[in-house]
């Protein structure tokens, strides 16, 4: 990156320092991951220079032969790894993917039945300040206060009472397996369309370690950078009968020129997701998440729903006399990065909630296994107990950095910027 270093030393320094931060911290944000060097090389390529409004073979610009190759590969590979009838790889993000599905399948004022945000749902599923909540009427389902699991009988009763036009399955903070077959059954009973937003769990689904929504859902949306480990972006999968409508709602509906460098990087990630190495990493992610949750449970942390079936879990800190925000800030001082999170039936506010969310995709990608999860649980407990003791937090941070140095995030030097 010498050219960047000479041209713009400030941005070079920010990137360089961000690499050092990523390398030396334990990353437990459930929606993050480290994409491969190959993905970054495709994303950092000349494909960023090309305008290609339209779709492969039918563009509005000349000179699209090579970007067509990249987009066709991305489409074919997405359809292949998910077994889908159609894929649109152009959404700039998971939010754009959801926007295209909502615009293509609903009219303003229609009803969406989706998970309560404070129970783990997502902003684009009808939150009042999001376009989805401004254009459509949101009806919510949540988890049982007793078990922390989605109560499908209650979901069915709400659907029957409210007759939604679209049922959405998918969440940002739900630690249990989603029963997509059940969602489909309920959507069919009330004549609603069914959207599965698999942003968090896409990698697990490709690896066959989470129930697959593709056979059931009219539409499946995902971001490409979480468990799927691709570049930051979005993807829509749908039944063939919706293909042309979805394509039109992405372009020209809500987007202009596709980000061809990102699409090329998505193609690379989809190829990687077909490998045995990827499958093993997803399996290890599940093992690591369970281990970390169990270790913390043994230290008297309350795990929402009692455990986890996927790559994340939530801790209810109400018995620890610390808020989610204070825990997040304390752990950052100890080199452990995660986010504060509302827990179901939270008595506190979204800005300073009772919970924290943890996930293991990033630490698993860098090669950590169960013994490291025990160590991380010890550090978390020790840091939270030692909050306010900056010396103690600094000592933990040094130990964290030492462990991280034995699990480099890019061990072929290709991401190193100095």
- Site of interaction with ligand DSN (CB under 6 A): 31, 94, 122, 172, 199
Q: Can you tell me the distance from the alpha carbon of 240 to that of 85, in angstroms, rounded to the nearest whole number?
A: 5
Nearer to ligand DSN, 54 or 324 (CB): 324
Nearer to ligand DSN, 176 or 184 (CB): 176
**Nearest approach, Cβ of 398 to ligand DSN (angstroms)?**
28
Q: What is the end-to-end Cα distance of the chain in Å, rounded?
A: 7
Nearer to ligand DSN, 171 or 396 (CB): 171
**Nearest approach, Cβ of 68 to ligand DSN (angstroms)?**
30
**Nearest approach, Cβ of 30 to ligand DSN (angstroms)?**
6
**Alpha-carbon torsion, ordered 291, 177, 173, 17, to 10 deg:** 50
Pairing between β-strand 111-115 and β-strand 193-197 as defined by DSSP bridges: unpaired
Nearer to ligand DSN, 68 or 346 (CB): 346
- Write out the H or E segment, with its range, that includes residue 113: strand 111-115
Nearer to ligand DSN, 31 or 43 (CB): 31
Q: Which residues contact 180 (CB under 8 A, 6 or more apart)?
A: 169, 196, 211, 212, 213, 216, 217
Q: Can you tell me the distance from the alpha carbon of 73 to that of 252, in angstroms, rounded to the nearest whole number?
A: 22
**Nearest approach, Cβ of 207 to ligand DSN (angstroms)?**
19
Nearer to ligand DSN, 50 or 226 (CB): 226
Q: Can you tell me the distance from the alpha carbon of 392 to that of 236, in angstroms, rounded to the nearest whole number?
A: 47
Q: Can you tell me the distance from the alpha carbon of 182 to that of 325, in angstroms, rounded to the nearest whole number?
A: 35
Q: Can you tell me the distance from the alpha carbon of 101 to that of 55, in angstroms, rounded to the nearest whole number?
A: 18
**Nearest approach, Cβ of 213 to ligand DSN (angstroms)?**
17
**Nearest approach, Cβ of 122 to ligand DSN (angstroms)?**
6
**Nearest approach, Cβ of 339 to ligand DSN (angstroms)?**
7
| 70: its two tokens | 């990249």
Q: Provide φ and ψ at 169, rounded to 5°.
A: -110, 135
Nearer to ligand DSN, 33 or 192 (CB): 33
Three-state SS for 195?
A: strand
**Nearest approach, Cβ of 171 to ligand DSN (angstroms)?**
9
Q: Which residues contact 217 (CB under 8 A, 6 or more apart)?
A: 169, 180, 183, 184, 194, 195, 196
Nearer to ligand DSN, 31 or 365 (CB): 31
Q: Which residues contact 304 (CB under 8 A, 6 or more apart)?
A: 148, 175, 313, 314, 315, 316, 343, 344, 355
Specify which residues 313 forms β-bridges with: 358
Nearer to ligand DSN, 266 or 397 (CB): 266
**Nearest approach, Cβ of 93 to ligand DSN (angstroms)?**
8
Q: Can you tell me the distance from the alpha carbon of 287 to that of 369, in angstroms, rounded to the nearest whole number?
A: 8
CB atoms inside a 10 Å sphere around CB 90: 30
**Nearest approach, Cβ of 374 to ligand DSN (angstroms)?**
25
Nearer to ligand DSN, 172 or 396 (CB): 172
DSSP per-residue letters across 356-380: EEEE-HHHHHTT--HHHHHHHHHHH
């Amino acid at each position: 990156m010498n050219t960047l270093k000479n041209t713009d030393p400030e941005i070079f320094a920010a990137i360089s320092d961000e690499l050092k931060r990523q390398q030396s911290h334990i990353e437990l944000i459930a929606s993050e991951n480290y994409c491969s060097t190959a993905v970054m090389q495709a994303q950092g390529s000349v494909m960023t220079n090309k305008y290609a409004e339209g779709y492969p073979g039918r563009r509005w610009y000349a000179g699209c032969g090579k970007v067509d190759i990249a987009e066709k590969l991305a489409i074919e590979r997405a359809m292949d790894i998910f077994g889908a009838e159609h894929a649109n790889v152009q959404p700039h993000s998971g939010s754009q993917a959801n926007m295209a599905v909502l615009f293509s399948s609903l009219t303003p004022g229609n009803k969406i039945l989706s998970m309560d945000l404070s129970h783990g749902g997502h902003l684009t599923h009808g939150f009042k300040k999001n376009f989805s909540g401004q254009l459509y009427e949101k009806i919510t389902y949540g988890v049982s206060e007793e078990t922390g699991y989605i109560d499908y009988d209650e979901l069915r009763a709400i659907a029957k009472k409210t007759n939604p036009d679209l049922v959405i399955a998918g969440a940002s903070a739900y630690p249990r397996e989603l029963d997509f077959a059940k969602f489909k059954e309920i959507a069919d009973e009330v004549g609603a369309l069914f959207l599965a937003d698999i942003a968090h769990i896409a990698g697990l689904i490709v690896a066959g370690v989470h129930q697959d929504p593709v056979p059931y859902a009219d539409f499946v949306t995902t971001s490409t950078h979480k468990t799927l480990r691709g570049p930051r972006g979005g993807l829509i999968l749908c039944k063939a009968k919706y293909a042309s409508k979805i394509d039109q709602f992405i372009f020209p509906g809500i987007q202009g020129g596709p980000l061809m460098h990102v699409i090329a990087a998505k193609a690379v990630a989809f190829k990687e997701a077909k490998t045995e190495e990827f499958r093993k990493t997803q399996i290890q992610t599940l093992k690591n998440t369970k281990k970390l949750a169990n270790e913390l449970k043994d230290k008297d942390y309350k795990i929402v729903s009692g455990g986890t079936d996927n790559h994340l879990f939530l801790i209810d800190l109400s018995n620890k006399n610390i808020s989610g925000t204070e825990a997040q800030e304390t752990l950052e001082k100890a080199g452990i990065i995660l986010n504060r999170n509302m827990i179901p039936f939270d008595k506190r506010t979204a800005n300073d909630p009772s919970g924290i969310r943890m996930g293991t995709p990033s630490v698993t990608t860098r090669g950590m296994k169960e013994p490291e999860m025990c160590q991380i649980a010890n550090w978390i407990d020790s840091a939270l107990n030692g909050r306010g003791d900056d010396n103690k937090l600094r000592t933990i941070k040094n130990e964290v950095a030492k462990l991280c140095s034995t699990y480099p995030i890019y061990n072929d030097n290709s991401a190193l910027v100095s």
